[in-house]
A and B are shown apart, each in its own frame.
Chain A
Amino acid sequence: MLRGLWSYRGFIKENVKREFQVKYRNSLLGPSWAVVNPLAMIVVYTLIFAQVMNTRLPGNGQPFAYSIYLCAGILTWGLFSEITSRAQNTFLENAGLLKKVSFPRLCLPVVLVASALVNFSIIFGLFTLFLIFSGNFPGWTFLAAVPLLLILVGLAVGLGITLGVLNVFFRDVGQFFGIFLQFWFWLTPIVYPASILPAQARDLLVLNPMAALVTGFQVSLMDGDWPEWGSLVYPGVLALVLCVVGMLLFRKHAGDMVDEL
């Protein structure tokens, strides 16, 4: 399966390139929208929560602290949600191609993950520049982003492919996951710090794999501390399991998929 993918690497590469071009092809400002969008969101949250509602992070009086906290969560959540929500639709969206051309179907999720990573690296790069110039660069703990991202992408891909295959056969999955993702966002301490939650709710947060990941980003990017490695075991294992489940499901039903499209 991997060898098939490798021989289609040219196709994958070109597709990522084209997707990027197409996204901004008919817009005047072009790729700058890739930046403006999340920037606007950060501004909105910062304004509403930090200024209007006067939220302050407990124990941190810096003016940019909340913004950094917010970015660390929102940007990484954005990557997660882009991959999962697009992956669950990828087979449906590319029905035309799948029905007409025989090619390794895994190319589709690979293209999608790659282009999501491209988008992410642009915005995350800007965020890093902001950290550096505002004098908030955390130092060595910045490197914690690498294992965190690996786990996050693994989790997103495993979940995305599983949902993608299921969605072909049960279209409810797509509808349901859209709603689920909204709840999930608010059940993850991205906009708010986990510390403001009541104790029993904080215990339940352990079940949310994204909570540990997002917290890891926040801690390493804002506070300059290393993430609590123990809390990452659960998301890491879950990512592995979901990837295996996704692949098994895909292999089992890939043949039937075209008949259902």
Chain B
Amino acid sequence: MGTIVVSHVSKAFKQYPTRWARLLEWLSPGRQSRHQQKWVLQDISFIVRPGEAVGVIGLNGAGKSTLLKMITGTTQPTSGSIRITGRVAALLELGIGFHPDFTGRQNVVMAGQLLGYDLDDIAMLMPSIEAFAEIGDYMDQAVRVYSSGMQMRLAFSVATARRPDVLIVDEALSVGDAYFQHKSFERIRAFQREGTTLLIVSHDKQAIQSICDRAVLLEHGRVAMEGAPEAVMDYYNALLAAHQGQQLRQSQLPQGQVKTVSGTLEATIEAIRLTDVQGEPLAVAFVGQAVKLTLSVAVHADLDSLVLGCGIKDRLGQMMFGTNTYHTHQILHGVKRGEQLEFEVLFDANLGVGSYSVHASLVRNHSHIEKNYHWVDGGLVFEVHNRDKYEFVGSSWNEMSFQIRRDAADTGNARRATEAGETPDRPLVVVDVGCRWGFAEKFVGPDRRFQVYGFDPDEQECARLRELYANQAVTLVPMGLAGTAGQRTLHLTQEPACSSLLPPDPALTERYPALACARQVSTMEVATTTLDGWAEQNGVHAADHIKIDTQGTELEILKGGRRLVQTARCLEVEVEFNPIYRGQALFAEVDLYLRSQGFVLWKLSNQVHYSSDGAPTLLGTEDAMFYDDAQRVSRPVFGGQLFWANAHYVNQSVLDPQHLLADERARDITLFETLGMPDVVIATRQYLSNGGVE
């Protein structure tokens, strides 16, 4: 069912030199021919198999509509044949021949009958047609008062009221508002999934590329190209710019994408390179990575104006994003023959995992229609991998954060049952990543209110700590944490506590005596895991407090522990303001990320400055902290640049105690008192002392 076989179809219109010629021809006894044949289609052959979606594209006048008319049977081919099986529904030229004086409803009946439904069928389908068209009261008004969009809505609804075996659509998708376009596309896609054969004529690239399995390009009444939609679309675009003397060339790249080059070649793109911001060549970019495209351009003629366009296309040839120097107001004027130009394009690879290609073009003005010097599609192909983002689908990266509020419907009972300061019944969980020395002192005590997990890749240190906290609720995990699970290189430093998964910057460790502790002495391979991976394996569902101090990899650990981090009430993260380790994330990035996860910065502590003279004796200035603009706490600063500090983050929900369960409030109070941050839970205490009302 649902096959279209077009074999050697040609169509000619009769052209008569004068108006009388036809009459003479009709009247002449031997039927002497007085007309010329104007061939609009010549020897067209293609097959659309059941369930396939084929797009027909071409410039205006290429014969697309005539072809569709012949396929739907409203006009006959001059030679050749068309075979079509299955029930056909066609939407030609934005309508299905509505009668302007009939009401929408009457037209639906009429169109339905033309489609082969009987009155009972139509009566049954009417509610769904009406609902899909969404034209309201207009349904019972004459079609003559309809807008073209409304006509199209109704026509589409009728033609697709039942899934046809073959659906033929001519341009109909380009009218109507965006809302209805989406809706009709959804229906077409649904039909496609259920096996409807599709034949679509459109100028809309998106439509062709996102729906069709194949495309047929008509040019001057012949099939100019048939193949994958993206290749055909690229060729078509080049064709759009086909002025005289332009060259058009397509070649197959190793990755399977097709490179299309065209243009008048007054200026040419000689090379396209993709690098990271430091200039290291990339074949693979990571999601969100800052990258740079460098385009070398040679100029072969004096040009009054030159615009570079650049964009990224996905595997299907759909433009992900792109613009040109016209829109950025950077048109080059008076470019001389022989000049060599270099354009650097900086952007973040906010793309989904997959393969992408670079499109670049040199044009005279804002579009390639006027003058196209050089046009390169698929000039460079690169991959995008996901290194440090959570898993996501789609072809663009946009960080999503979920704010989850669980309905606190039964808080009333819980509130009554729990008094302020009551001991929480479940131990508070503390996770300390990069634990050393006597890290858990705060949390250990006879009442075992805390369960502590410490992470350090150094097995010896773990063994020592295990001994130290032998009878306490302290678990030590001799593993390195990172953004991904696997093997990583640990850069061991002079002082083991400064060891990091990132290499220390020798320029700093040699220059600043205080940073000599971070000098690299050796490396070792360590197994890494993610916080979420570990939590899942060990059945840790929540961590009330997470402290991370891992010499530069804090952000990737936070991201690798996204789920666990979201359960935390409080975070303590070592943040850097100047990089000590190469490639480490800085405070600003950590801050942005944690904000997106629902945390707010409460305070910075332990701000550490370094100076190159090594003896921080020089009293730089006196710094002060103000509390509520009233209480001033001053402290001396011994000169030097600010390198790092500890940032304390609080889960936003802690600050809204009225939305918490009674048990949660009690736990918050315990936690923040223990952490020495009682000011965080002032609101909570007040809330409880007011008896749980605002």
Instruction: Give residues in A with beta carbon < 8 Å to B.
Output: 8, 10-11, 14-15, 18, 21-22, 25, 94, 96-103, 169-170, 255-256, 258-259
Contact = CB atoms under 8 A, between A and B. Distances in A.
Contact of B106 (A18, A96, A256, A258): A18
Of B13, B75, B109, B119, most buried by chain A (CB within 10 Å of CB) is B75
Interface of B: 13-14, 22-23, 26, 69, 72-76, 90, 92-93, 95-99, 101-102, 106, 109-111, 113-114, 118-119, 142
Given A10-B113, A22-B102, A100 B22 contact: no
A259 B13 contact: yes
Contacts of A98: 74, 97
A100 B13 contact: no
B113 A14 contact: yes
Contacts of B23: 170
| A-B pairs with lowest CB-CB distance, top 4 | A102-B73, A97-B97, A11-B113, A255-B76
Q: What DSSP secondary structure best describes chain B's contact surface?
A: mixed
A102 B72 contact: yes
B75 A259 contact: yes
A10 B26 CA distance: 37
A259 B65 CA distance: 12
Contacts of B69: 99, 258
Nearest to B155: A100
A100 B97 contact: yes
Contact of B22 (A11, A97, A101, A170): A170
12 contacts: A14-B109, A22-B101, A25-B142, A99-B74, A100-B90, A100-B97, A101-B92, A102-B90, A103-B114, A169-B26, A255-B76, A259-B75
B110 A18 contact: yes
Question: Residue among A8, A94, A97 with the most chain B CB within 10 A?
Answer: A97
A258 B118 contact: no
A103 B101 CA distance: 20
A251 to B, nearest CB: 12
A87 to B, nearest CB: 18
Given A96-B95, A100-B92, A170-B23, A10 B73 contact: no
Contacts, number: 67
A165 B559 CA distance: 76
Contact of B114 (A21, A99, A101, A170): A101
A100 B93 contact: yes
A65 to B, nearest CB: 41
Contacts of B92: 99-101
Nearest to B71: A102
B14 A256 contact: yes
B610 to A, nearest CB: 79
A101 to B, nearest CB: 5
Contacts of A96: 95, 97-98
B74 A100 contact: yes
Contacts of A15: 110
Nearest to B22: A169
A258 B75 contact: yes
B110 A14 contact: yes
Nearest to A171: B19
A100 B114 CA distance: 11
B95 A100 contact: yes
A108 to B, nearest CB: 12
A15 B97 CA distance: 14
Contacts of B106: 18, 21
A102 B74 contact: yes
Nearest to B78: A255
Contacts of A102: 72-74, 90
A79 to B, nearest CB: 23
Contacts of A256: 14
B155 to A, nearest CB: 9
A174 B95 CA distance: 28
A212 to B, nearest CB: 29
Nearest to B111: A101
A96 to B, nearest CB: 5
Contacts of B93: 99-100
B114 A11 contact: yes
Given A10-B118, A258-B69, A101 B14 contact: no
Given A25-B101, A100-B92, 5 more contacts: A18-B110, A96-B97, A96-B98, A255-B75, A258-B75
Nearest to A99: B74
A101 B75 CA distance: 10
Contacts of B99: 18, 97
B262 to A, nearest CB: 35
Contact of B74 (A11, A22, A169, A258): A258
Nearest to A170: B23
A102 B111 CA distance: 11
Contacts of B22: 169-170
Contacts of B101: 22, 25
Contacts of B119: 10, 14
A96 B101 CA distance: 13
A261 B73 CA distance: 15
Contact of A100 (B96, B102, B113): B96
